[in-house]
């Protein structure tokens, strides 16, 4: 199985801050990396697929980068509605695996 | 508009079998091009992929659960189902069904709202 490791596991930030979340795969997965946002009591929502392709309804302050084993999700200017948990997920091979999540909290 | 909806018991006794159904609307699960997955969220932990079934009935299960999992299709009802046997408290979680593209769109684009299953006597 491909292991996905996210860091940090949680962070505190203020509205307007730039936030960066890292995700590392245990082997190369090319660009087969997706990012999801999950709010309490809701299903995860796809933000970015193929490492850097922003979904159409997702604000442009979200961006993704990376390939191979190292990936990054960046929120350029944190907004109140962005406080949530973020997961990376590899789609390179089954079993599909997720990172353990990064909880973004209000500072 | 594609929609997925989980249904099933919210409480299961230890050692029994957990059974959930996902009803899909807005797309035919037998039309091809997609995998139909089950994913769970453990309280205070992260997401765990359980397995998927294709439109043709091919399955792939998470090796960590493979001996206890069965995913099946009912194309006449446009549903797919999960059975997890010999459950323990560690199987208590929110269970989601989700759609994943099978070719180029390899991501989970549609999810059910989730259903909480508690394993307890």
Range A51-79 average pLDDT: 97
Whether residue B32 is predicted with pLDDT greater than 90 in this model: the reply is: no
For CA atoms A95, B46, B34, B117, give the dihedral sign.
Answer: positive
Range A79-106 average pLDDT: 96
A98, B48: Cβ pair inside 8 Å?
yes
Q: Considering only CB atoms, which chain A residues are within 8 Å of B52?
A: 94, 96
| pLDDT given for residue B63 in this prediction | 96
Between CA A38 and CA A96 the distance in angstroms is 18
Number of residues assigned to chain A: 107
- List of residues 6+ apart from B34 with CB closer than 8 A: B27, B54, B55, B99, B100, B101, B102
Range A45-61 average pLDDT: 96
B108, A89: Cβ pair inside 8 Å?
yes
**DSSP character for A96?**
P
Whether residue A46 is predicted with pLDDT greater than 90 in this model: the reply is: yes
Give the model confidence (pLDDT) of B39-87 as tens digits. 999 987 899 999 999 988 999 999 999 999 999 999 999 999 999 999 9
∠ CA A66-A69-A71 to the nearest 5 degrees? Answer: 35
In DSSP terms, B119 is beta-bridged to B12
**Which whole-number Å values give the CA distances from A27 to A6, A92, A93, in the listed order?**
14, 10, 11
Whether residue A53 is predicted with pLDDT greater than 90 in this model: the reply is: yes
Whether residue A15 is predicted with pLDDT greater than 90 in this model: the reply is: yes
| pLDDT given for residue A38 in this prediction | 97
B82: Cα separation from own chain's centroid: 5
Q: Considering only CB atoms, which chain A residues are within 8 Å of B47?
A: 44, 87, 89, 98, 101
| pLDDT given for residue B104 in this prediction | 79
Output the average pLDDT for chain A.
96
Range A14-25 average pLDDT: 97
B47, A44: Cβ pair inside 8 Å?
yes
Q: Considering only CB atoms, which chain A residues are within 8 Å of B103?
A: none
**DSSP character for B33?**
S
């Amino acid at each position: 199985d491909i292991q996905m490791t996210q860091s940090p596991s949680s962070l505190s930030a203020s509205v307007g801050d730039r936030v960066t979340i890292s995700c590392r795969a245990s082997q190369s997965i090319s660009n087969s990396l997706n990012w999801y946002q999950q709010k309490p009591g809701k299903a995860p929502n796809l933000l970015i697929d193929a490492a850097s392709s922003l979904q159409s309804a997702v604000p442009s302050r979200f961006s993704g980068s990376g390939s191979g084993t190292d990936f990054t999700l960046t929120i350029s200017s944190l907004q109140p509605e962005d406080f949530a948990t973020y997961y990376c997920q590899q789609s390179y091979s089954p079993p599909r695996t997720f990172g353990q999540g990064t909880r973004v909290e209000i500072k | 508009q594609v929609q997925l909806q989980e249904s099933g018991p919210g409480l299961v006794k230890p050692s029994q079998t957990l059974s959930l159904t996902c009803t899909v609307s807005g797309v035919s699960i037998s039309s091809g091009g997609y995998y139909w997955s089950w994913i769970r969220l453990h309280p205070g932990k992260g997401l765990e992929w359980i397995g998927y079934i294709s439109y043709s009935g091919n399955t792939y299960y998470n090796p960590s659960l493979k001996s206890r999992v069965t995913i099946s299709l009912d194309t006449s009802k446009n549903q797919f189902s999960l059975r997890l046997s010999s459950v323990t408290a560690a199987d208590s979680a929110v269970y989601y069904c989700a759609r994943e593209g099978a070719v180029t769109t390899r991501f989970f684009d549609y999810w059910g709202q989730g259903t909480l299953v508690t394993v307890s006597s």
